[in-house]
Structure 1
Amino acid sequence: MTEHAPNRRIILATLVAGLTILLALGAYIFWPTPAPVRPFNVVPTADGATKSADEAVAAAGMSPADRRATEALVKAYILENPEIITDAVAILQRREVSKRLTAAGNEIAKPFPGAEAGNPKGDITIVEFTDYNCGFCRASVPDVQRLLKSDGNIRLVYRELPILSQSSRTAALWALAAARQGKHKAFHDALFAGGRAEESSIVAAARTARLDIDAARTFAASPQASQEIERNLAMMQQIGFNGTPTFIIGDQILEGALGFDALKSAVEKARRQG
């Protein structure tokens, strides 16, 4: 599970698009007349799907009887093999994830100075977006720590993403101040161990991490710290998620308190893919 920002995107019409593609495929297989090329960068609608199917049928030179036969074959195939729908959705999702991460570029894995842990030269980078008032983020801390201890070739980049409350933002600003002093992980772990992020727990975590309190307070109020928070929020919108914790591992966007085994599997998958 994840803790979410108020807005949430909903992706619709995948099934309609899948049926249209299958119908067009059936027409191509049985009546292989070249069909006109259509753009695929538009959101499908029921009317659009019907129009596309009509055009494919016309291009293939199908009679009404041929069309009915093809539709019956496609329908029967889908009913007998319903898993092709979920398979198609999974492929589309992977392609969409890849596009979003490519669009975001290398900035994702470029940390605010000091906001990283693990092996700085590791072959796998994990980017973790977190909110200090997120219970699922707190639950993930021991799993992430265990992963770093068990695999010495992981680089962890922390991205502060305060989406739950004003005190979340205050905590995130202080975490950046801790990073500036080279003590981000110590502050990060101490604050999550201290419960809900509020004024008293933030100062207590800062003292546990042995921060220069005055310097931290000054930097937390600086434009530089606020700009980094806004950058992370914009990155969330660009990549297309709205909950914490969110982990980016290779070309995978993983949301929620996943547990050690799932995180380890994601790392292994990213390593295999190179």
Structure 2
Amino acid sequence: MRNILATVAIALFAGFAGAAAWDYSGLGPERTRDYLMANPEVLPEAMGELQRRDMMARVEPLRDELEMPYPGAVLGNPDGALTLVEFSDYACGFCRQSLEHVNQLIAENPDLRVVIREYPILSAGSADAARMALAAADQGKFEAFHNAMFAQDGLSAETIEAAAQQAGLDLAAANAAIGSGAYEAQLQNNVFLGQSLRIAGTPAFIVGEQVHDGAVGVELLSEAIAEARDS
């Protein structure tokens, strides 16, 4: 009954009015209304489900594009059967905090592919670091740069170059590619995807039918991965 009545609450939030909403359960208006009044905790649960459904309605038409990485901008198993998408910004402290969590998930799930969407929304330096990350992907050194960049003390032209050197990039080739505008279309597309999904901050994670904002930790992401694996 709880699931049915949660659906009724969704109908209310979605705009059904009066008896039309109460009848949505098939249990009759009086019985339905009495249950909801006695168990108002169903309403927040239903609102959460409504938000999830709304997000999935935006994700599904874009899923193939979301899960198709920029070549080389992948962590974990590039051929993995499960895909976790992360919208990330090198100026984001919560993204830095989540790096350890993502690495743990990769270690625990050999079939996990992590697609990093560079989403430089916090500063001009964010965009510069994102361009260098894509240059690193072109050189087969994305993971090394990604880890080195988050290990830096702050985000500046100097720390971006230091991370690139630590990752072993050919800086002349990387800067030439950046100067040619080779990565602008990819960054613009990432912004389009993020805005289409109403992602306002980083990190944001998408796996299966779950979307999580912020540094939500290993446990919640592990549960989402397990659910996606079982679906």
> What TM-score range do you get, normalising by the shorter chain?
0.7 to 0.9
Which aligned pairs between 1:114-133 and structure 2 lie closer than 5 A? 114-133=72-91
Say whether residues 1:79 and 2:52 are aligned partners. no
Say whether residues 1:141 and 2:99 are aligned partners. yes
Does the CA contact (< 8 Å) of 1:109 and 1:127 recur in 2?
yes
Deviation at 1:21, TM superposition (A): 4.6
Counterparts in 2 of 1:23 and 1:133: CA distance versus 1, 3 Å: same
Report Cα offsets for 1:179-211 as digits up to 9, x if no partner. 010100100000100122211100000000000
Say whether residues 1:215 and 2:211 are aligned partners. no
SS of 2:85's equivalent?
strand
Say whether residues 1:23 and 2:25 are aligned partners. no
SS of 1:196's equivalent?
coil
Larger of the two Rg values belongs to structure? 1
Higher relative contact order (CA 8 A, sep 6+): 1
- The whole-number CA distance in structure 2 between the counterparts of 1:114 and 1:94 is 30
TM-score (normalised: structure 2):
0.87
Which aligned pairs between 1:61-100 and structure 2 lie closer than 5 A? 76-100=34-58
- The whole-number CA distance in structure 2 between the counterparts of 1:256 and 1:30 is 39
Does the CA contact (< 8 Å) of 1:133 and 1:164 recur in 2?
yes
Stretches of structure 1 lacking an aligned partner (at least 5 in a row): 1-13, 32-69
TM-score (normalised: structure 1):
0.74
One of 153, 165, 185 as aligned partner of 2:143: 185
Counterparts in 2 of 1:77 and 1:162: CA distance versus 1, 3 Å: same
One of 178, 183, 205 as aligned partner of 1:247: 205
Does the CA contact (< 8 Å) of 1:15 and 1:85 recur in 2?
no
- The whole-number CA distance in structure 2 between the counterparts of 1:30 and 1:208 is 65
Deviation at 1:18, TM superposition (A): 6.1
Which aligned pairs between 1:161-172 and structure 2 lie closer than 5 A? 161-172=119-130
CA RMSD of aligned residues (A): 2.2
One-letter amino acid of the structure 2 residue matched with residue 199 of structure 1: A
Equivalences, count = 221
- The whole-number CA distance in structure 2 between the counterparts of 1:264 and 1:26 is 37
Does the CA contact (< 8 Å) of 2:141 and 2:169 recur in 1?
yes
Stretches of structure 2 lacking an aligned partner (at least 5 in a row): 1-9
